[in-house]
Amino acid sequence: MEHLIVKVADLKLGNEIAEDIFANTSFPLIRKDTRITREHFHVFRAFHITEVPVINRDPFNKEEAELEESSTEPKLNETPNLKLVAHDVANLYKSSVADYKKEFTNWQSGAKVDVSKIRQLVIPIVEKVLNHRQIVAMLNDLSSVRDYTHHHAIALGIIAGSLAKKLGYDHGQIMQIATAAALSDCGMSRITNRILEKSEALTQMEFNEIKKHTIYGYSMVKDSPLLRPEMKLAILQHHERLDGSGYPKGEKMEDISMVSQIIAVADIYHAMTSERIYRPKASPFKVLEMIREDEFGKFNIQVVQALISIVGDLPIGLRVELSSGETGEVIFNQQNVPTRPMIRLSNSGEILDLSKKRQLYIERILG
């Protein structure tokens, strides 16, 4: 089909690219037959592309044009400032952690688990983060060594809820999964503070006691009518691993429920990205690569890929800090390696392809 060379300034939404577009890259920045969207204009500016080949036909029919203009997808310059959203989430997160701590203290005194209260703590913050998935990659900045158990519970609710949405669960299931995730460590309330607050490495005997928290937790929620059976089972199974190396029963593969597998991925991700007494926190982007590569065979790859997709869903123009200490902005996302976008450095303007600079990775999101 005939194509034209069109200046970027004259492009219209919906124009179809006639040939793969390269810009000193070994892979196409934009593939042939792609329809131009608003985000592509940021890519053109970032790579100083001034003209592109497009197929010579109307970009949209009338109905398609109206659909594009009325799209509910926000324009980039209309997207809420991530820092403002993060600030709101941080305040809600802190109050949720404080309220969860009160519930946990009650459980330590022998009180029954009030599932409805945990739902009330979890649902508002999960609802907010579901609309701003980039917040998942910023949760490690909210957690602290002190009261880690309580931070972990709220963060698990957020991450597991986000995973459930990405995996296609309906709204009711998402909130059930988020609640179960927040309750997954409720059995820790049956472990002595001497072990929970220990600053040195646990002895084997102490670790064996910690492993009982899944059984304790299940016994604490099994009679609640507010949690579905598969959610209760997930509280028991969230430390099981597909290769049989987990606990409490060493279950394998199909014997581990899908909800358990979702919470398992959320659990290890948050644990590894959080500051702990015995080790510093790690970059969310580095941790995702470690889970995918070093822990291969232990976790459901579909769930891991969903988390990579969530954390790697970085808007063009987002400011980030690299492991080198340098700062820059995201200028291009690479679908095959979403945790390694292309970054333009703030100081020099140099463009880094993180998929080729394996020694570098995104340390944290600046907003």
User: Using 50, 70 and 90 to split pLDDT, how confident is the model at 115?
Assistant: very high
Decide: residue 33, CB within 10 A, 0-12 exposed, 13-18 middle, 19+ buried.
Answer: exposed
What is the per-residue pLDDT for 66? Answer: 46
Kindly state which CATH superfamily the domain 92-311 is placed in.
Answer: Hypothetical protein af1432 (1.10.3210.10)
DSSP string, 331-349: EE--TTSTTS-EEEETTT-
What is the per-residue pLDDT for 217? Answer: 97
Closest CA to 16 of 28, 30, 25: 30
- Residue 146: strand, helix, or coil: coil
What is the per-residue pLDDT for 24? Answer: 66
Higher pLDDT, residue 190 or 355: 190
Give me the mean pLDDT over the 257-274 stretch. 96
Q: Which amino acid, one-letter code, is at 248?
A: P
Of the listed ranges 12-16, 113-117, 158-162, the one predicted with least confidence: 12-16
What is the per-residue pLDDT for 1? Answer: 64
Q: Where are the domains of the chain?
A: 3-76, 92-311, 319-365
Of the listed ranges 179-193, 216-230, 266-280, the one predicted with least confidence: 266-280
Give per-residue burial for 261-286: e unless 16+ CB within 10 Å, then b.
bbbbbbbbbbbbbbbeeeeebbbbbb
Which long-range contacts link 113-117 to residues 24+ away (Cβ below 8 Å)?
113/183, 113/186, 113/220, 113/221, 113/224, 115/179, 115/183, 115/221, 115/224, 115/226, 115/227, 116/226
The β-bridge partners of 51 are 7
Give per-residue burial for 48-58: e unless 16+ CB within 10 Å, then b.
ebeebbbbeee
Which tens digits make up the pLDDT trace of 60-69?
444 444 444 4
What is the per-residue pLDDT for 133? Answer: 81
Structure tokens at 300: 């459901």
Give me the mean pLDDT over the 78-97 stretch. 78
What is the per-residue pLDDT for 46? Answer: 73
- Residue 201: strand, helix, or coil: coil
Count of CB atoms situated within 10 Å of the CB of 143: 23
The second-level CATH assignment, the architecture, of 3-76 is: Alpha-Beta Complex (3.90)
Give me the mean pLDDT over the 344-363 stretch. 90
Closest CA to 136 of 319, 261, 316, 269: 269
Which tens digits make up the pLDDT trace of 39-52?
788 778 777 788 88
Q: From residue 181, how far is each of 142, 153, 185, 229, 308 by CA, in Å?
A: 18, 7, 8, 14, 19
**C-alpha span between 27 and 64 (Å, rounded):** 30
Q: What is the DSSP letter of 285?
A: H
- Give Cα 364 to chain centroid, integer Å: 13
As a whole number, the mean pLDDT across the chain is: 87
The residue behind tokens 């109905």 is 63
Which tens digits make up the pLDDT trace of 161-179?
999 999 999 999 999 999 9
Higher pLDDT, residue 8 or 159: 159
Q: What is the DSSP letter of 354?
A: T
Count of CB atoms situated within 10 Å of the CB of 201: 9
What is the per-residue pLDDT for 226? Answer: 95
Which tens digits make up the pLDDT trace of 281-312?
889 999 999 998 877 889 999 999 999 999 88
pLDDT at 191 over 90: yes
How many residues are there in the chain?
367
Give me the mean pLDDT over the 152-156 stretch. 96
Which tens digits make up the pLDDT trace of 14-42?
888 888 888 766 667 788 888 888 778 87
Q: From residue 37, how far is each of 13, 26, 261, 286, 296 by CA, in Å?
A: 5, 23, 36, 30, 36
Q: Could you tell me if 353 and 366 are in contact, meaning their C-beta atoms sit under 8 angstroms apart?
A: no
pLDDT at 73 over 80: no
Structure tokens at 207: 């670790």
Question: Would 3-76 and 92-311 be classified into the same CATH topology?
Answer: no
Which tens digits make up the pLDDT trace of 212-239?
999 999 999 999 999 999 999 999 999 9
What is the per-residue pLDDT for 135? Answer: 86
**C-alpha span between 251 and 241 (Å, rounded):** 7
**Which residues does 241 contact at the CB level (< 8 Å), separation at least 6?**
256, 264, 298, 299
- Strand ranges in 293-346 using DSSP code E only, listed in sequence order: 319-322, 327-332, 342-345
What is the per-residue pLDDT for 267? Answer: 96
